[in-house]
A and B are shown apart, each in its own frame.
Chain A
Amino acid sequence: MEGLAPAGVLLLLAWPLAGWLANGLLGRRLGRIGPGLIGSAAVAGSFATALGLLAAYRALGPEAGPIPVPLGAWFGAGALVVDASLLVDPLALTMALVVSGVGFLIHVYAIGYMAGDPHPARFFAYLNLFVFAMLLLVTAGNLLVLFVGWELVGVCSYLLIGFWFDRPAAATAGRKAFVTNRVGDAAFLLGLFLLFTSVGSLDILKVGEAASALPGGVRLAAALLLFAGATGKSAQIPLHVWLPDAMEGPTPVSALIHAATMVTAGVFLIARLGGLFLATPGAMAVVAVLGALTAFFAATVALRQHDLKRVLAYSTISQLGYMFVAMGAFAPAAGMFHLVTHAFFKALLFLAAGSVMHAMHDVIDVRRLGGLARPLRQTALGFVVGGLALAGVPPFAGFFSKDLILEHAFALGMATGNYLPYLLGLLTAFVTAVYITRAALLTFSGRPAEPGARPHEAPPVMLWPMALLAVLSVAGGGLGARAAGEPLLRFLEPALPHPDGALAGVHAPAGPLMVLSVAVAAAGVALGWTLHRGRRDPALGALGGVLEQRWYIDALYEAALLRPARALGRWLAGPVDLGAIDALVNGVGRGLARLGADVRRWQTGYARQYALGVLAGTVLILVFWMLR
């Protein structure tokens, strides 16, 4: 393995990079189906390589530890010397498997979904570039390398949200995602500066070792700045506004980037820098509370959204909140477990939603759907499986991971007295069950809202990935279930620092908590069933209006930030730029032109006149010289 790691990791990264180059440079000659095949094959190669790396790593035994893969010096500037390096450890391997595995299924699905699109090569080139960037992010051994991947996935997200750039809504959504992420990224970069000045290195292992020795204030500031970066990428309050709009992109993009992988980068970052975060209880409290608030807020909004994909987008924000709760509850392994199961069932839900769009010719408003269970039998089944997993109904995967998080959140409450994350988490579990039941009922049950449409089931190339994801959404729970021996958790344990101090030795009463969360999920499903049976959709009064307007947060940003910014822009462009700066520049030019027009009359073209001028000048000089 020691010798295998560099070649293996580079191969892991090389596959999608090669796919990107092939599709990007030769795409036009590959026909309609070629780009999808190449793109899928490239990601399949990455997945196979990741499996090989996993096998090789496991063969090393349980005390293998992180294996750094130095790639030589990258650049140096004064005291800042950055080595390009990668890192192979259970965390990186888990993420690489999820990214390439789920990514592969979504690539295959996209072959069918994008079959009618005139630009498949561009689409798969972007998608492969994204997979490369995401794999670089998760295998980075240096925070600057990680940052490169971090920015690159942001670029790919922008490009893919705006893939149909001729639609103004898509172009605007891409811009919004990019700009919102900039805010978080600026904080991230400041955090990196702070870490560098205080640690003297950006190597992840070194930072992790040195973190606990840092002064408390510096540690807190660095952790909060990096978390601010994570809130941007992972769409947490207050930077969550871009993710729902990002649904303007093609549905495979929503499934891969905006549900399964990229948006989990923030969670991954905290797990990756566990040495820093777990040593900073103050920052962890912020992470837990903000995660819980986001989870609850987004789940309530999802109750009253009419765009099916937006329901799922808010659901993603909410589930990411859960993962942050796990991180904040000093249980990164539980957070990673939920990250993995969420990747399975949320990708499945999105692919099912994409199948609905495919069948209904891009209609995605649940008020115009309905009755799709009969024509789209497999899709409906997939959606229900994903929905049950999301709602946390046993034995689906989401139940195990969500329950584990709630258990750790409860333990956090026992240790610190801060029960808020647990209570909000439990409440969110209830709301989650309601909104996903609503979405499923409005879409698939009852009679079609528009009987004229003739929906048709998706082709096999789209159904098979959904089938596999459905299997994973059920079986994925085995990765962390106690009955199955918690293989994923045990695998991750050595790579993640253990909480010391307050939380060590605190054990939440797992049995009663599990019963409670199952009861809550069942109650949620039951309430959703009662409210929305027969495609009824009660508006929930004034509260429903608030939820429909997303708690007016977008409107608040519009009024408090965007409108002043636009006014400032207009003022700078009008009075300042045109009125002052341009006027000054143009005034100088016009003045000189007028001067020139006057002076040119002296140039008569008569040589004798010039001669007279020379003579007169000479005489004047002589007179001056003599009189002096």
Chain B
Amino acid sequence: MVPATAYLALSAVLFTLGAAGVLVRRNALIIFMSVELMLNSVNLAFVTFARQHLSIDGQVIVFFVLVIAAVEVVVGLALIVDIFRSRETVDIDDVDLLRG
């Protein structure tokens, strides 16, 4: 049996990859995928702890996260499409209307 620490380590690696992706990439779609990666790394951690503590709570929360991620994708993709329509770019650094 694979120890729980391995799953948690994988989760941490995935989260770090996702966070790094969000911070360094400029393409909005890639950033989006990175966010999904972060969410799923968290899901993995939840499932791991649920299994370890024999508690159903962690698994339930995963469903919530999945639902929220789906909703977020709907809104986010709509935003990206709209940004592309109005500015013909998905480069996140070009969208700086709120610069002070």
Q: Do A and B come from one complex?
A: yes
Shortest distance between the CB of B19 and any CB in chain A (Å): 6
How far is B22's CA from A38's CA once the two chains are assembled, in angstroms? Answer: 88
How far is B19's CA from A603's CA once the two chains are assembled, in angstroms? Answer: 21
Shortest distance between the CB of A152 and any CB in chain B (Å): 60
Binding site secondary structure of chain A: helix
Shortest distance between the CB of B46 and any CB in chain A (Å): 17
- Is there an interface contact between A606 and B96, defined as CB atoms closer than 8 Å? yes
Q: Which residues of B contact A611 (CB under 8 A)?
A: 22-23
- Is there an interface contact between A615 and B19, defined as CB atoms closer than 8 Å? yes
- Is there an interface contact between A605 and B26, defined as CB atoms closer than 8 Å? no
- Is there an interface contact between B99 and A603, defined as CB atoms closer than 8 Å? yes
Complex interface bits, B60-83 against A, C-beta within 8 A gives 1, otherwise 0: 000000000000000000000000
Interface-centre pick from B92, B95, B100 (highest chain A CB count, 10 A): B100
How far is B20's CA from A297's CA once the two chains are assembled, in angstroms? Answer: 100
Shortest distance between the CB of B59 and any CB in chain A (Å): 24
User: Is B54 located at the chain interface by the 8 A CB criterion?
Assistant: no
Contacts of A588-613 to chain B: CB distance below 8 A: 599-608, 611-612
How far is B97's CA from A601's CA once the two chains are assembled, in angstroms? Answer: 14
- Is there an interface contact between B23 and A605, defined as CB atoms closer than 8 Å? no
- Is there an interface contact between A602 and B100, defined as CB atoms closer than 8 Å? yes
- Is there an interface contact between A608 and B93, defined as CB atoms closer than 8 Å? yes
User: Is B1 located at the chain interface by the 8 A CB criterion?
Assistant: no
Chain A's closest residue to B99 (CB) is A605
User: Is B6 located at the chain interface by the 8 A CB criterion?
Assistant: no
How far is B32's CA from A465's CA once the two chains are assembled, in angstroms? Answer: 99
Q: Which residues of A contact B92 (CB under 8 A)?
A: 606-608
How far is B24's CA from A608's CA once the two chains are assembled, in angstroms? Answer: 8
Shortest distance between the CB of B45 and any CB in chain A (Å): 14
Shortest distance between the CB of B25 and any CB in chain A (Å): 8
Shortest distance between the CB of B84 and any CB in chain A (Å): 15
User: Is B2 located at the chain interface by the 8 A CB criterion?
Assistant: no
Shortest distance between the CB of A623 and any CB in chain B (Å): 16
- Is there an interface contact between B95 and A607, defined as CB atoms closer than 8 Å? yes
- Is there an interface contact between B99 and A615, defined as CB atoms closer than 8 Å? no
Which of B23, B26, B97, B100 is A600 in contact with, Cβ under 8 Å? B100
Q: Which residues of A contact B23 (CB under 8 A)?
A: 608, 611-612, 615
- Is there an interface contact between B98 and A603, defined as CB atoms closer than 8 Å? yes
Shortest distance between the CB of B48 and any CB in chain A (Å): 19
Shortest distance between the CB of B10 and any CB in chain A (Å): 20
Q: Which residues of B contact A602 (CB under 8 A)?
A: 100
Q: Which residues of B contact A603 (CB under 8 A)?
A: 98-100
Complex interface bits, A156-170 against B, C-beta within 8 A gives 1, otherwise 0: 000000000000000
- Is there an interface contact between A605 and B22, defined as CB atoms closer than 8 Å? no
Q: Which residues of A contact B98 (CB under 8 A)?
A: 603, 605
Chain A's closest residue to B22 (CB) is A611
Chain B's closest residue to A597 (CB) is B100
- Is there an interface contact between A606 and B22, defined as CB atoms closer than 8 Å? no
Could you pull out 30 A-B pairs where Cβ atoms are within 8 angstroms? A599-B100, A600-B100, A602-B100, A603-B99, A603-B100, A604-B96, A604-B99, A604-B100, A605-B95, A605-B97, A605-B98, A605-B99, A605-B100, A606-B92, A606-B93, A606-B96, A606-B99, A607-B92, A607-B93, A607-B95, A608-B23, A608-B24, A608-B26, A608-B31, A608-B92, A608-B93, A611-B22, A611-B23, A615-B19, A615-B23
Contacts from A to B (Cβ < 8 Å): 599-608, 611-612, 615
In the complex, besides A603-B100, A606-B99, 13 extra interface pairs with C-beta distance below 8 angstroms are A600-B100, A601-B100, A604-B96, A605-B96, A605-B97, A605-B98, A606-B93, A606-B96, A607-B92, A608-B23, A608-B26, A608-B92, A615-B23
What 10 A-B pairs are tightest by C-beta distance, nearest first? A605-B99, A605-B96, A600-B100, A603-B100, A607-B92, A605-B98, A611-B22, A612-B23, A608-B23, A604-B99
